[in-house]
């Protein structure tokens, strides 16, 4: 009976996973291809898929099968046991919400996403506020319902969707510690850089087609499989969690690519490499998914920060940049590229942030998001609270809502509780890259020569291929030899910004 129940569950979750992947492709189409008049129809389509997925998880029969399979695990191997545990986790989240709330959340999020696209350029949050207020209220209801089911605080329930077991006491400890460390380090590193001659600017215009071609060349060198993925353009860079067909996007600017389109491409390529190298035998099963979004973000940030900004990578990139955009030889020397990529320049925009100030952007969003969900911050007061937070944490002014509270898509769609994963990912990335560097003594030479196979294989063996078979903490410990230790991130910043 247990193995029969498990097999029936596996069939159900195979259907659930396929519906989930279809929803990702529709989301990609909405951001990349869909005509503006398709928003209302897409909202209905998304709601139908979300509701069908929810019904699979929340069906009484699913609960009965889980009880039967859990009653006797003797017939299950380790991966099947881990798969069963993931099934239960997903089912608990689903049964916390009734179908009406699921449908309302889906429709409101689709409508708000469409409104965000229309209002972001204008920089007027007030134009978006009514539909956003509905999204906030529905997420408050969802957070409360899930918190009662999970036995945690409401905002922790939202974080648990993306990072299983995440608790605010640990997030607060890590974030408060970094917020105390950052001002002194920024001042010291900025003073160090001010004593040097400024780097040579890479002045455009840079043809967008050539920017894309350069990005695709580097993606291929990194190991991205274009038979199972593609690169497109969108207002907000993203990647889909669809291992057999990974869609990634970036945005382009005519006057720059080193600090805009290219790091966006590499960030999303890190996500894509994780997806493309998940355990293929477990595709369309929960255990075959990534082990939480902090680990997922560690893979994107490892490629974007640990690799892309590494002096050895600058040696690899220099001839490619010169061939793609001739006439900029002074700007595209390896040393100058490295200096351009490691300038500390506090900005109100997260996508323009250097890796030192980037966690401060995440800390701000985390604090504001909690306040919105807890009811301590009114929707109407979000712009002013955001602007004050940017001034306090980063020391810069926000000129309009477009570079303030409208700059990220997350809150206007379904990604509530997600932001902490970015800063956690940065810390994990530094620790994993340190471990890979110790395991691969010729890594720097390989990077300079454009050979990323060793690093990719190490990541696949220790991270990608593990899927969701073990908790994140166990995966990190097995890969690096110790639990998550933020000291590695600080050591990385010290080497990159003060010892270079």
- Do residues 36 and 115 share a domain? yes
- Do residues 380 and 445 share a domain? yes
Instruction: Classify residue 145: in a domain, yes or no.
Output: no
Instruction: Classify residue 215: in a domain, yes or no.
Output: yes
- Do residues 113 and 254 share a domain? no
How much helix, strand and coil, in percent to the nearest 5, is found in the chain? 70, 5, 30
Instruction: Classify residue 418: in a domain, yes or no.
Output: yes
Give the closest residue to 243 by CA, choosing from 285, 219, 272.
272
Give the closest residue to 398 by CA, choosing from 348, 345, 344.
348
Instruction: Classify residue 165: in a domain, yes or no.
Output: no
- Do residues 472 and 324 share a domain? yes
Q: pLDDT value at position 291?
A: 96
- Do residues 119 and 179 share a domain? no
Q: Which residues of 440-471 are buried (b: 16+ CB within 10 A; e: fewer)?
A: beebeebbbebebeebbebbbebbbebbbbbe
Examine residue 256 and say whether the peptide bond preceding it is cis (omega within 30 degrees of 0).
Answer: no
- Do residues 197 and 319 share a domain? yes
If DSSP states are collapsed to H, E and C, what string results for 115-166? HHHHHHCCCCHHHCHHHHHHHHHHHHHHHHHHHHHHCCCHHHHHHHHHCCCC
The total number of structural domains in the chain stands at: 2
Q: What is the CATH number of the domain that holds 444?
A: 1.10.1370.30
- Do residues 220 and 337 share a domain? yes
* CA 462, chain centre distance (Å): 19
Q: Which residues contact 184 (CB under 8 A, 6 or more apart)?
A: none
- Do residues 277 and 338 share a domain? yes
Please state, in angstroms and as integers, the Cα–Cα distance from residue 228 to each residue in 209, 243, 275, 435, following that order. Answer: 21, 8, 10, 29
Instruction: Classify residue 286: in a domain, yes or no.
Output: yes
- Do residues 205 and 334 share a domain? yes
Domain containing 270 equals 170-497
- Do residues 26 and 102 share a domain? yes
Please state, in angstroms and as integers, the Cα–Cα distance from residue 335 to each residue in 262, 307, 314, 327, 451, following that order. Answer: 18, 15, 7, 17, 20
Tens digit of pLDDT per residue, the chain (500 long)? Answer: 457 999 999 999 999 999 999 999 999 999 999 998 998 899 899 989 999 999 999 999 999 999 999 998 888 999 999 999 999 999 999 999 999 999 999 999 989 998 998 898 888 999 999 999 999 999 999 999 999 999 999 999 999 999 999 999 999 999 999 999 999 999 999 999 999 999 999 888 999 999 999 999 999 999 999 999 999 999 889 999 999 999 999 999 999 999 999 999 999 999 999 999 999 999 999 999 999 999 999 999 999 999 999 999 999 999 999 999 999 999 999 999 999 999 999 999 998 899 999 999 999 999 999 999 999 999 999 999 999 999 999 999 999 999 999 999 999 988 999 999 999 999 999 999 999 999 999 999 999 999 999 999 999 999 999 999 999 999 999 999 999 999 999 999 999 999 86
Instruction: Classify residue 157: in a domain, yes or no.
Output: no
Using the 3D structure, point to which of 127, 157, 186 is the last residue of a domain.
127
The DSSP secondary-structure symbol of 291 reads S
Instruction: Classify residue 152: in a domain, yes or no.
Output: no
Instruction: Classify residue 431: in a domain, yes or no.
Output: yes
- Do residues 83 and 209 share a domain? no
Q: Which two tokens stand for residue 487?
A: 């000291």
- How far apart are alpha carbons 398 and 347 in whole angstroms? 9
- Do residues 336 and 429 share a domain? yes
Q: Which two tokens stand for residue 17?
A: 């996973």
If DSSP states are collapsed to H, E and C, what string results for 230-274? EEEECCCCCECCCCCCEEEEECCECCECCCCHHHHHHHHHHHHHH
């Amino acid at each position: 009976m247990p193995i029969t129940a498990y097999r029936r569950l596996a069939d159900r979750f195979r259907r659930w996973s396929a519906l989930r992947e279809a929803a990702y492709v529709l989301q990609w189409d909405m951001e990349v291809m869909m005509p503006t008049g398709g928003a209302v129809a897409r909202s209905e389509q998304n709601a139908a898929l979300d509701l069908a997925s929810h019904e699979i998880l929340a069906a009484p029969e699913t609960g009965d099968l889980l009880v039967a399979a859990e009653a006797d695990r003797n017939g299950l191997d380790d991966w099947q046991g881990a798969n069963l545990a993931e099934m239960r986790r997903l089912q608990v989240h689903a049964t916390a919400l009734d179908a009406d709330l699921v449908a309302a959340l889906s429709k409101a999020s689709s409508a708000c996403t469409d409104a965000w696209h229309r209002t972001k350029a204008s920089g007027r949050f007030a134009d978006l506020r009514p539909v956003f207020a509905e999204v906030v209220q529905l997420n408050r209801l969802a957070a409360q319902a899930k918190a009662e089911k999970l036995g945690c605080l409401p905002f922790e329930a939202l974080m648990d969707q993306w990072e299983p077991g995440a608790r605010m006491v640990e997030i607060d400890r890590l974030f408060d510690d970094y917020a105390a460390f950052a001002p002194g380090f920024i001042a010291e590193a900025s003073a160090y850089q001010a004593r040097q001659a400024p780097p040579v600017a890479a002045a455009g215009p840079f043809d967008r087609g050539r920017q894309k071609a350069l990005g695709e060349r580097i993606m291929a060198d990194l190991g991205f499989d274009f038979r199972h993925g593609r690169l497109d353009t969108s207002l907000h860079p993203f990647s889909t969690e669809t291992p057999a067909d990974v869609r990634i996007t970036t945005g382009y600017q005519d006057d720059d690519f080193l600090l805009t389109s290219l790091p966006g491409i590499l960030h999303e390529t890190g996500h894509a490499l994780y997806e493309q190298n998940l355990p293929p035998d477990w595709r369309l099963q929960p255990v075959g998914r990534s082990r939480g979004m902090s680990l997922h973000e560690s893979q994107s940030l490892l490629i974007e920060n640990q690799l892309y900004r590494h002096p050895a990578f600058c040696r690899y990139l220099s001839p490619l940049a010169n061939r793609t955009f001739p006439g900029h030889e002074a700007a595209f020397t390896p040393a100058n590229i490295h200096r351009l990529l490691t300038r500390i320049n506090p900005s109100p925009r997260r996508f323009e942030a250097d890796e030192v100030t980037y966690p401060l952007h995440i800390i701000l969003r985390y604090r504001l998001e909690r306040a919105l969900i807890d009811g301590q911050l009114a929707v109407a007061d979000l712009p002013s609270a955001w602007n004050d937070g940017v001034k306090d944490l980063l020391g810069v002014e926000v000129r309009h809502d477009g570079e303030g509270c409208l700059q990220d898509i997350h809150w206007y769609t379904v990604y509530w509780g997600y932001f902490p994963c970015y800063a956690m990912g940065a810390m994990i990335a530094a620790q994993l890259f340190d471990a890979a560097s110790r395991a691969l003594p010729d890594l720097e030479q390989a990077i300079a020569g454009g050979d990323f196979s060793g690093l990719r294989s190490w990541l696949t063996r220790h991270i990608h291929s593990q899927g969701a078979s073990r908790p994140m903490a166990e995966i990190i410990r097995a890969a690096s030899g110790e639990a998550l230790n933020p000291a590695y991130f600080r050591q990385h910043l010290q080497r990159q910004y003060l010892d270079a």
